[in-house]
Chain A
């Protein structure tokens, strides 16, 4: 890692003082935060089940077997089958791919765009007043409504879902970055750099940005978790991932007509969805404690 936060440095120093290696430091951190470890394990399971979906005794997620429709969970269909006789277990594992891709892409894009905007607003004071009012206004629109409205204007595709979820997040990230920049720009090291004649863009990249990495990583995990939830909401409402793609929201949307007959169509993808979001939130909470953010 290029950046060493104060918390890491402290942990590292403590470890070094006691003659312990980096592995020992990490091990102790994990023991002290069992929920962080739990989150990592669950997340790893979901990532592996999605990434290696064809390996885990799945079939074709789109294959319809009319003779096997609405079967309860059994040896043939571990999670049961839907009204087209498609295997829910297979579809759920493949659904992990969509959710993780959307969550990861939304987190990375919101962080990059929001950080760029926040750095500029925080350092060029003349922009601040106007831009912050604009950010306040955009944040007053509930994210899910804004995302729904954006989806109404775009073609249903995974790419557009990502765009619709990134836009509401940008002002939130920008706000966080701006607040940090405002406190950091008074820092002695920045003043020193200025006195030496370092130009603003270089100060932003070399002095301010490194200090922002820890809070942004934590923020990124929360954005990822909520993006996965929102993708499922949008798909469930019929304004998200196109219906032919087996995303968790789509599987559940198709299962809603069969709540009384075939509850498993909703139960299993939802279980994966809840576990994934919970795992990412636990990782986020753990990182926040370990990196000593706020």
Chain B
């Protein structure tokens, strides 16, 4: 098992290498002088020269790439042009809100999406199944920010149950923290939940047709026990995969959700950086988020080995 895990670990290195080069290249592939673009419309010649020198844009391209990769490997993501703070510091300040939001959304979507999928597969063709499928297709098509505003309108503006927007750090206590994250997390979870419910249903349908499931039902086991212990356990691999792949969806949704609910997270940091053309910040966030995505999918692949001993790399 160990050599397989090692081989899988090694395979992430070229992927991360490509990500690092792509993020570096972003700045250079576009037509025009990056220093001029970053400086904006009202910059003086001195501003442009200063930015060019500060970002090392006056060096040969290959030297710049080498320096960039070297810095990234040392954990240095550069300095924000706008605030002058190290990008890693900025990311550190904003990480809590995004982690809270995505983890909560992931818990909600797995916690509801998997049971919905199991239920739909068990009662295939019934109204429950139809309802779940309608939810799965429409949830997947839902514009995240529009859903956010609908929820805000119903639960915050009309009913006054939850705050309209804003954020309280975990340090202020668990309840204020959660209260501000409930609406954003529910908003964000819908797309992901739809995806998980659909995949769970499809995977369960395959397993429920197996002989051993029929045997388990025939010998009089409680349906819940058959569904969970016999069927779901064997149907879980594709579901785990989609949870990993869908993470990209979750991060994309988080960028938009944070904007709707004014959460001070990485998404807001990125959007603000994009409007100010603060390129080191944009590059840092993209690199970090992509790395998290790669790691999550690595963990999913490794889980495969544990969940299904037949699988070998």
Using a CB–CB distance below 8 Å, which chain A residues touch chain B? 35, 133-134, 136-138, 140-146, 148-154, 225, 229, 232-233, 236-239, 252, 256, 259-260, 263, 266-267, 270, 273-274, 277-278, 281-282, 285
- Chain B residue contacts of A266, Cβ below 8 A: 146, 149
In the assembled complex, the Cα of A4 lies from the Cα of B277 at a distance in Å of: 50
Segment from B45-53, B119-127, B134-142 that makes contact with A = B134-142
Q: Chain A residue with minimal CB distance to B144?
A: A233
A137 touches B14 (CB 8 A): yes
Q: Does B282 contact A (CB under 8 A)?
A: yes
In the assembled complex, the Cα of A126 lies from the Cα of B282 at a distance in Å of: 34
A256 with B149: in contact, given A136-B18, A145-B289, A233-B256 (CB under 8 Å)?
yes
B255 touches A148 (CB 8 A): yes
Q: Chain B residue with minimal CB distance to A265?
A: B149
Q: Does B43 contact A (CB under 8 A)?
A: no
In the assembled complex, the Cα of A150 lies from the Cα of B270 at a distance in Å of: 12
Enumerate the 9 nearest inter-chain pairs by beta-carbon distance, A residue then B residue, closest first: A137-B18, A270-B146, A144-B252, A278-B141, A277-B141, A153-B30, A152-B274, A142-B248, A133-B14
B270 touches A148 (CB 8 A): yes
A274 contacts which of B141, B153, B275, B283 (Cβ < 8 Å)?
B141
B271 touches A148 (CB 8 A): yes
In the assembled complex, the Cα of A107 lies from the Cα of B260 at a distance in Å of: 28
- Chain A residue contacts of B256, Cβ below 8 A: 144, 233, 236-237
B138 contacts which of A142, A236, A278 (Cβ < 8 Å)?
A278
Cβ distance A95 to chain B, nearest Cβ, rounded Å: 13
Segment from B19-27, B84-92, B219-227, B229-237 that makes contact with A = B19-27
Cβ distance B271 to chain A, nearest Cβ, rounded Å: 5
A152 touches B18 (CB 8 A): no
Q: Does B66 contact A (CB under 8 A)?
A: no
- Chain B residue contacts of A267, Cβ below 8 A: 150
Q: Does B17 contact A (CB under 8 A)?
A: yes
A145 touches B285 (CB 8 A): yes
The CB with the most chain B CB atoms within 10 A, among A256, A259, A281, is that of: A259
- Chain B residue contacts of A154, Cβ below 8 A: 30
- Chain A residue contacts of B142, Cβ below 8 A: 274, 277
B15 touches A133 (CB 8 A): yes
In the assembled complex, the Cα of A278 lies from the Cα of B252 at a distance in Å of: 19
A133 with B146: in contact, given A142-B248, A148-B270, A152-B274 (CB under 8 Å)?
no
In the assembled complex, the Cα of A122 lies from the Cα of B222 at a distance in Å of: 50
Cβ distance B1 to chain A, nearest Cβ, rounded Å: 24
Residues of chain B from 258 to 298 with CB closer than 8 A to chain A in the complex: 259-260, 270-271, 273-275, 277, 279, 282-283, 285-286, 289-290, 293-294
- Chain A residue contacts of B252, Cβ below 8 A: 142-145, 233
- Chain B residue contacts of A263, Cβ below 8 A: 149, 153, 157
A140 with B19: in contact, given A145-B252, A263-B153, A274-B141 (CB under 8 Å)?
yes
A-B contact pairs, 19 of them (CB 8 A): A35-B137, A137-B15, A138-B19, A140-B19, A145-B255, A148-B255, A149-B26, A149-B282, A153-B27, A153-B30, A153-B34, A233-B144, A256-B260, A260-B157, A260-B164, A270-B143, A270-B146, A278-B138, A285-B137
A140 touches B259 (CB 8 A): no
Cβ distance B4 to chain A, nearest Cβ, rounded Å: 19
B19 touches A239 (CB 8 A): no
B146 touches A273 (CB 8 A): yes
A259 touches B137 (CB 8 A): no
- Chain B residue contacts of A143, Cβ below 8 A: 248, 252
A281 contacts which of B30, B140, B143, B157 (Cβ < 8 Å)?
B140
A252 contacts which of B23, B30, B145, B290 (Cβ < 8 Å)?
B145
- Chain B residue contacts of A144, Cβ below 8 A: 251-252, 255-256
Cβ distance A3 to chain B, nearest Cβ, rounded Å: 28
Q: Chain B residue with minimal CB distance to A276?
A: B141
A259 touches B153 (CB 8 A): yes
Write the B176-216 contact mask toward A (1 if CB under 8 angstroms, else 0).
Answer: 00000000000000000000000000000000000000000
Cβ distance B308 to chain A, nearest Cβ, rounded Å: 22
- Chain A residue contacts of B283, Cβ below 8 A: 149
- Chain B residue contacts of A229, Cβ below 8 A: 141, 143
Cβ distance B48 to chain A, nearest Cβ, rounded Å: 16
A237 with B248: in contact, given A259-B153, A277-B143 (CB under 8 Å)?
no
Cβ distance B258 to chain A, nearest Cβ, rounded Å: 10
Known: A35-B137, A145-B286. 20 other contacts (CB 8 A): A138-B18, A144-B256, A145-B289, A150-B30, A153-B26, A153-B27, A153-B34, A236-B145, A237-B255, A237-B271, A238-B275, A239-B271, A259-B153, A260-B164, A266-B149, A270-B146, A270-B149, A277-B141, A278-B141, A282-B137
